[in-house]
Structure 1
């Protein structure tokens, strides 16, 4: 896998015209997203939605989730499930391993379609930085140990890169939050939580949308406001007929 042309950190100015939201791991649960966007009265002319990654696998709408990448209001970071898709398309991972984490939905896709998805996903950064100073927040998929300066450098060893995609030290209590000194509030997913919560500098927002007992969560950045819904409830409320912005 060639990484030199992959943007590692993407910067965004503060949103002075509207609101910024962050959504947890979608995992193909686009109907839940449709419902939540209506609940928060999302205005696609002013508001932005940042994703902590893992758009695909496990849920039933992976391709619809990938289509969100073409929305001008949607900004994702690379998740480990997107990484798996790319590795399969590039010949670096067996499909059987991807099946083990929910990649069966892609079995009917042509090799060229899968490669096209991989090319698109390879343009996603590992981190997004929004705003500056007291209004700054970061987005990564799994976890990051270091300061804002370390994140801003965009110089990551392969071990750090893997931790940003797959790490669970902090979530499992094995990572010292002191190692995050100087790190602004950082939204992440990857490890499903019963409820959105903060550990160290990180806000864990994945609440297991794909699971029977799980839900999708959206939060308004830098505020305590959050909204959650299960796929079952969203569908019962007619979410499949709600248009995306």
Structure 2
């Protein structure tokens, strides 16, 4: 599903004026995000929120999740579900296949609207690198085997790109964490976990917000803090009435 428009790696300087957070796979669960942003007293003038991708599908608020791309404080990487949306918009994949993995929300979307979303999503990088030296952390969707230098180079083969978007070797115990020596702490999603879990250099923060018993998780890398809530709990707390920053 590669596209010539793919952006490989985007670097961000360390945040000296505010805090940085990373959120797990949203999958259209924006009400849970509203609650968590209020809980952490998120300040859009100086704080930043990085996303491991998969903004859309499965949850009820995919279009609201896509609207986050217009927020200056929100920085997402491409997830496999966004990549699938783009493939459908570009005529490389049938809509029915996408609907089978949660894209049914888009059944009523016109081809023009779908194309608009695809154009936005194609501006997202596969990897975001935040800071440098000991305080550096990486954000990507699924998995990467290699060093920081290899990640920074961004010369990803089709196989590596597939791993960045769809890989589960590490999460399923089939990938060797030693292949990640020289890789800074790397936040990822894609594979739902009961709780945050570190394997090798990667920290899996997708806690299945869209599913029964699942929760949306936000972490603050520098402070090693975390917050989680289910969509149901967030709505019971009045999250639907909260404005996003």
Contact 1:218–1:227 under 8 Å retained in 2: yes
User: Residues 64 and 107 of structure 1: is their aligned pair in 2 closer, same or farther, counting only changes over 3 Å?
Assistant: same
SS at match of 1:9: strand
What stretches of structure 1 of length at least 5 have no aligned partner?
none
Q: What displacement does 1:223 show? A: 3.1
Distance of 1:108 and 1:32 partners within structure 2: 24
TM-score (ref. length: structure 2): 0.99
Contact 2:2–2:158 under 8 Å retained in 1: no
Q: Equivalent residue for 1:92?
A: 92
Q: Equivalent residue for 1:235?
A: 235
1:152 aligns with 2:161: no
Question: CA RMSD for the aligned pairs?
Answer: 0.8
Q: Equivalent residue for 2:244?
A: 244
What is the 5 A alignment of 1:31-42?
31-42=31-42
What stretches of structure 2 of length at least 5 have no aligned partner?
none
- CA deviations on 1:86-118 (whole Å, 9 max, x unpaired) are 001111111111011100000101000001100
Distance of 1:56 and 1:42 partners within structure 2: 22
- CA deviations on 1:97-142 (whole Å, 9 max, x unpaired) are 1011100000101000001100110110000000000010000000
Distance of 2:231 and 2:2 partners within structure 1: 37
What is the 5 A alignment of 1:18-167?
18-167=18-167
Q: Equivalent residue for 1:213?
A: 213
**Runs of 4 or more above 4 Å deviation:** none
The count of aligned residue pairs is 245
Contact 1:137–1:222 under 8 Å retained in 2: no
SS at match of 2:228: strand
Distance of 1:171 and 1:223 partners within structure 2: 24
SS at match of 1:169: coil
Contact 2:146–2:183 under 8 Å retained in 1: yes
TM-score (ref. length: structure 1): 0.99
